[in-house]
Structure 1
Amino acid sequence: MENVFLKYMRERVGKMDNVSAPQAEGPVITISREYGCPGKRIGKFLSEVLTDKLKRLEKKGEWRWLSKEIIDESARELKLSPQLIKDLSEYKKKSFFENLALFFSDTYYPSDAKINNTIANFIYNAASQGNVVIVGRAAEAITKNFKKSFHIKLMAPLEWRAEIISNTYGKTISEAKRECQEMDRRRAMFRHYFEKDVPDVNFYDACFNCKEMTDDEIVELIVIIAETRGFI
């Protein structure tokens, strides 16, 4: 499969000769989130509401939402397990014995760049098809220049997120806080590959505080903006 994302990036920074490719269309909505915020739940809910809008307007098509599929498809492309791709892309630390096992393994493990670019290529292709909500994986940076795109970030105070993680996974509040901070750090490392040191404000169009807003309120506001921008 041609890596259209890398082709696009080369054109964007002026490394291609002659005529550059036309701007990608969309529509695509991306959802980034701090750990503990309900990104997947809101992504699924949003796609259902947008699809229902299309039906009531008697328009063809539906909205998809992608999260787990990004890792699954990238793993298939790289011929590795989804869990390994997830761990590598999230810069998960390995134990001494895990590293020792990899050292003596005959299995080929691709570089961080190859993994990240494979993930980005899948996201770029999915967004190019339009009518898609993409959760996580630096999708806001990968699709920022799409003609029809809207990028949001879900945030909440650390204490609130830690309580959610504690209740969900049976951890102490202290353990949950450390997990939130570690996951935020690892996700930031992945985003940094695409965003470098550019401030968040350059990538996100809106931020929502999940502690203060319900899922219904967040989705309703996103739908209003989607309608205003001609996404449906």
Structure 2
Amino acid sequence: MDNLFLKYMGAREGKQEKPPKKIGTPGPVITISREYGCHGKRIAEKLSEILTAKSYASGENKEWRWISKEILEQSAKELKLSTTLVKQLSDYKHSSFFKDLALFFSEDFYPGNATIKNTIAKYIYDEAEQGYVIIVGRAGEAITKSIERSFHVKLEAPLSWRAKVVADEEHMSENEAKKECTVQDKRRAQFRDYFEKGRMDVDFFDAKLNCKALSDDEILELLVIIAETRGFV
């Protein structure tokens, strides 16, 4: 098997051309999933800036976007609900209350679980089809896995490390932060499982990166190498 790094270095030295881009195909798209306490949004924002700069430098002039909160905002608009309510429903918050509420209202007023998640999925897939987008969270890896020009990464780290990060940022004790990480990880796993149907991470993610072992700059460098090697920029 060819060594990816050697191929990349060869390309940088002009010894290898970029993979040909297929006309009319969806993408490129990069998805970033993350355990709670790993900064996916921060990575996505910086990565979009780097890839946009490289695209303009090459003459392709494509602007890379990154989306996160827009997923819920646009889905809420489509569902005619508040962004807060859509987030609560998709995160399984107050689930017993909303189940009771559903008994009194038809789906014309209260969209069911499948309707909410499928609306979110449609927005994500439509954005991915347009290409030049980095999608943070919301099971983007499962929803866009069928797109050939895609790359899917998961950011993770030991719970103790993430708890320290969350404790510092949210001004809480490390024990409280540990509990919060566990709760948020569970909610994210529940949302992903709707699309992944209990299948293993290896079926969806192309790479997992340890945020404790790697700095932001190192993670970005690795993602840029992948993007360049795959002909995304």
Q: TM-score, normalized by length of structure 2?
A: 0.84
Match of 1:141 in 2: 142
Give the secondary structure class of the aligned counterpart of 1:41.
Answer: helix
> Which letter maps to 1:40?
K
The 5-angstrom pairing of residues 41-190 of structure 1 reads 41-93=42-94, 108-190=109-191
Query: How big is each residue's C-alpha offset from its partner over 1:125-180, in whole Å with a ceiling of 9 and x where there is no partner?
Result: 00000000000000000110101000000000001111111111111111110110
**1:25 CA displacement:** 2.1
* Mapped contact 1:26–1:149 kept (Cα < 8 A): yes
* Mapped contact 1:31–1:151 kept (Cα < 8 A): yes
Task: Rate the CA distance shift 1:213–1:229 in 2: closer, same or farther, 3 A.
Answer: same
Match of 1:193 in 2: 194
RMSD across aligned C-alpha pairs, in angstroms?
2.0
Cα distance in 2, alignment partners of residues 50 and 182 from structure 1: 34
**1:197 CA displacement:** 1.4
**1:224 CA displacement:** 0.5
Give the secondary structure class of the aligned counterpart of 2:187.
Answer: helix
Give the secondary structure class of the aligned counterpart of 2:93.
Answer: coil
Task: Rate the CA distance shift 1:229–1:100 in 2: closer, same or farther, 3 A.
Answer: closer
* Mapped contact 2:40–2:155 kept (Cα < 8 A): yes
The 5-angstrom pairing of residues 15-30 of structure 1 reads 25-30=26-31
Cα distance in 1, alignment partners of residues 76 and 176 from structure 2: 30
Structure 1: 4+ residue segments shifted above 4 A: 98-107
**1:93 CA displacement:** 2.6
Give the secondary structure class of the aligned counterpart of 2:209.
Answer: strand
Task: Point out where structure 2 has 5 or more consecutive residues left out of the alignment.
Answer: 1-23
Match of 1:206 in 2: 207
> Which letter maps to 2:230?
R
Identical residues among aligned pairs (%): 57
* Mapped contact 1:24–1:145 kept (Cα < 8 A): no
**1:69 CA displacement:** 0.3
Q: TM-score, normalized by length of structure 1?
A: 0.85
Cα distance in 1, alignment partners of residues 100 and 207 from structure 2: 44
Cα distance in 2, alignment partners of residues 88 and 193 from structure 1: 13
Task: Rate the CA distance shift 1:111–1:24 in 2: closer, same or farther, 3 A.
Answer: farther
